């Protein structure tokens, strides 16, 4: 994370301006993606559309900048895949759960966001409830953000909502700081104790990203593509995320659409 205490007001303002613009591109793109996805589309078809949209909207594909090559411009995680899903040739079916996780690069800075949806109009009530609860946990975590708040305050708030919703809480994948690099300190777990961990200051930018599941939280990386994280018990995984700026009085959600 950019060292806020040792930077100039001009650099900080440049960062905030760039991330606001990049975040707005992100928010609008994901909003359009949700409307775009239909049964029968393949992950690779969707990935191709996303890549073109990123470029068309004036940003760059952050995943192209990874040291280890990722086979796509967006993570697409279907059903028992939790996160980091590599886009595939298999068509999405009515009622599939799909999570999209996107990072874009604009004017020197990254923004990161994710959402989970059902494909088409069908789907189990349990999955619908998981999606609703997990998204709610994200916003409960965001509500804790302000100067002086601890990372543990965020994690405790997220965890409380997920546990109350009878969902598995993923502990081995966490949120993070973000600005010039895609993943920076501090880590933002989806569990924790109030008053513990890094203390936020004005100008920090962080990604809060609750992950949950319908079964047990144990997971593994698929040996076939070396990216997709899958649930060991075959249950359904869920993921939501926003990039958040710590402001003087609280927070600003940078990755919302217009």
pLDDT in tens, 60-104: 999 999 989 999 999 999 999 999 999 999 999 999 999 999 999
Evaluated on CA atoms 255, 175, 228, 179, the torsion sign reads: positive
Closest to 178 measured CA to CA, from 99, 106, 71, 77: 106
**What is the C-alpha separation between 68 and 66, in angstroms, rounded?**
5
Indicate whether 6 pLDDT > 60: yes
**pTM higher than the cut 0.75:** yes
Percent of the chain residues topping a pLDDT of 90: 94
pLDDT in tens, 124-138: 999 999 999 999 999
Is the Cβ–Cβ distance between 221 and 178 less than 8 Å?
A: no
The band of 7, judged by pLDDT with boundaries at 50, 70 and 90, is: confident
Residue 211 neighbours by CB distance under 10 Å: 32
Closest to 106 measured CA to CA, from 151, 61, 70: 61
24-53 burial, b for 16+ CB within 10 Å, e for fewer?
Answer: bbbbbbbeebeeebeeeeebbebbebbbeb
| CATH number given to 4-253 | 3.90.230.10
What Cα–Cα distance (Å) separates residue 137 from each residue in 5, 22, 68, 162, 166?
30, 24, 31, 6, 12
For the chain, the domains span 4-253
Q: What is the pLDDT of residue 123?
A: 87
Residue with tokens 């402001």, as numbered in its chain: 247
**What is the C-alpha separation between 111 and 204, in angstroms, rounded?**
13
pLDDT in tens, 218-238: 999 999 999 999 999 999 999
């Amino acid at each position: 994370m950019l060292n806020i205490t040792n930077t100039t007001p001009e650099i900080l303002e440049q960062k905030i301006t760039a991330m606001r613009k990049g975040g707005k591109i992100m928010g609008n793109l994901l909003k359009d993606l949700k409307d775009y996805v239909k049964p029968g589309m393949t992950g690779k078809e969707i990935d191709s559309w996303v890549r073109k949209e990123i470029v068309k909207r004036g940003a760059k594909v952050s995943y192209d900048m990874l040291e280890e090559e990722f086979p796509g411009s967006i993570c697409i995680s279907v059903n028992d895949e939790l996160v980091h899903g590599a886009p595939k040739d298999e068509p999405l079916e009515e009622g599939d759960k799909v999570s999209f996780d996107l990072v874009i690069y604009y004017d020197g800075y990254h923004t990161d966001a994710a959402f989970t949806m059902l494909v088409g109009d069908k789907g189990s009530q349990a999955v619908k409830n998981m999606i609703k609860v997990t998204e709610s946990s994200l916003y409960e975590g965001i509500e804790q953000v302000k100067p002086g708040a601890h990372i543990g305050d965020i994690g405790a708030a997220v965890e409380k909502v997920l546990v109350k919703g009878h969902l598995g809480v993923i502990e081995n994948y966490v949120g993070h700081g973000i600005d010039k690099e895609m993943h920076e300190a501090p880590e933002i777990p989806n569990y924790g104790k109030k008053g513990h961990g890094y203390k936020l200051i004005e100008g920090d930018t962080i990604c809060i990203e609750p992950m949950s599941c319908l079964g047990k939280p144990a997971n593994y990386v698929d040996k076939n593509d070396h990216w997709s994280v899958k649930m060991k018990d075959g249950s359904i995984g869920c993921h939501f995320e926003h990039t958040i700026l710590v402001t003087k009085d609280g927070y600003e959600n940078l990755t919302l659409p217009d």
